[in-house]
């Protein structure tokens, strides 16, 4: 499967668990870490964990390896490294504090509709 299919899997999984304000940033040429960042948030610890778990489970179901998942127990900022796609699932307050969209503001974004 290619990057776009992996990206779609991640975004659909987050959307299925009602992740808020899903932002898709195209990082190729800007960062060596990943081709895409998916940034979203939940409004409670349980929702953050549900979003992260769904992303991990759907990735496995589609044959993708989760290289690393950090922050799940704390549920404030869960980072899910899928290789070419890195998902950042924040609790609402942490997302506002870290503001990755501003930090990586030079990265082009993709619309949710173009990925789903």
Per CATH, the architecture of 3-115 is what? Answer: 2-Layer Sandwich (3.30)
pLDDT at 29: 86
CB 62 within 8 Å of CB 9 = yes
**Residue 92 is encoded by which pair of tokens?**
């609402």
Nearest 5 degrees, angle CA 54-CA 77-CA 48?
35
pLDDT at 1: 54
Query: pTM for this structure?
Result: 0.94
Give the strands of the sheet with 77-81, arranged side by side. 68-70, 77-81, 85-91, 36-42, 20-26, 109-110
What are the residue ranges spanned by the domains of the chain? Answer: 3-115
Q: Which of 19-33, 36-50, 79-93 has the lowest mean pLDDT?
A: 19-33
The 10s digit of each residue's pLDDT in 54-110 is 999 999 999 999 999 999 999 999 999 999 999 999 999 999 999 999 999 889 999
Q: What percent of the chain has pLDDT over 90?
A: 84
């Amino acid at each position: 499967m290619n990057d776009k299919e992996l990206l779609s899997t991640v975004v659909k999984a987050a959307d299925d668990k009602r992740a808020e304000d899903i932002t898709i940033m195209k990082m190729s040429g800007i960062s060596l870490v990943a081709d895409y960042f998916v940034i979203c948030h939940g409004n409670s610890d349980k929702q953050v964990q549900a979003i992260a778990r769904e992303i991990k489970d759907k990735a496995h179901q589609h044959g993708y390896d989760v290289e690393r998942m950090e922050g799940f127990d704390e549920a404030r900022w869960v980072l899910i490294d899928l290789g070419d796609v890195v998902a950042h699932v924040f609790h609402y307050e942490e997302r506002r504090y870290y503001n990755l969209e501003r930090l990586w503001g030079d990265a082009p974004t993709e619309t949710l509709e173009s990925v789903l």
